[in-house]
Amino acid sequence: MPPTVLVATRGKIFHADKGCPGLSWYKDLVEIAITEIGVQRPCYRCYPDAPRAKTVRRYCQVCKGKTIRPCRHNGGVLVSFPVRLGKRTLTSEADDTYTRTRWVWPEHAARY
């Protein structure tokens, strides 16, 4: 069994401790496996060593995108990751990979 954490069902933060002041507003707590954490971030009180994943997401006046997206001008981080080509084409073998790059928020860079 993986370790479990506490989340409020509509909360975006997960906690280690039932008595955490950050949980006092919530009544609908659930315990989930640490492997089931999705969008939730660690609570800063319960996990003081966790990286502070709070980035100011600014709209980029240079790229002028339709939505606020990370880019080189607003604190985005360029990550590269291998992508497997699914099927054989004229120029590549079935198990070829190529490297893609994209801009992500710093707190997401660790996933790549």
Q: Which is nearer to Zn ion, 78 or 83 (CB)?
A: 78
Q: Which is nearer to Zn ion, 59 or 81 (CB)?
A: 59
Closest-CA residue to 108 (of 67, 68, 79) = 79
Count CB-CB contacts under 10 A for residue 106.
14
Does 108 bind Zn ion (CB under 5 A)? Our answer is no
We find the least distance from the C-beta atom of residue 76 to Zn ion, in angstroms, to be: 8
Q: Which is nearer to Zn ion, 58 or 100 (CB)?
A: 58
List 4, 40, 41, 63, residue binding Zn ion (CB under 5 A): 63
Does 41 bind Zn ion (CB under 5 A)? Our answer is no
DSSP 30-88: EEEEGGG--S-EE-TTT-TTS-------PPPTTT--SS----TTTT-EEEEEEEE--S-
By CB under 5 A, which span of 25-33, 37-45, 81-89, 95-103 interacts with Zn ion? 37-45
Does 77 bind Zn ion (CB under 5 A)? Our answer is no
* Sites of contact with Zn ion (CB under 5 A): 15, 20, 22, 43, 45-46, 60, 62-63, 71, 73
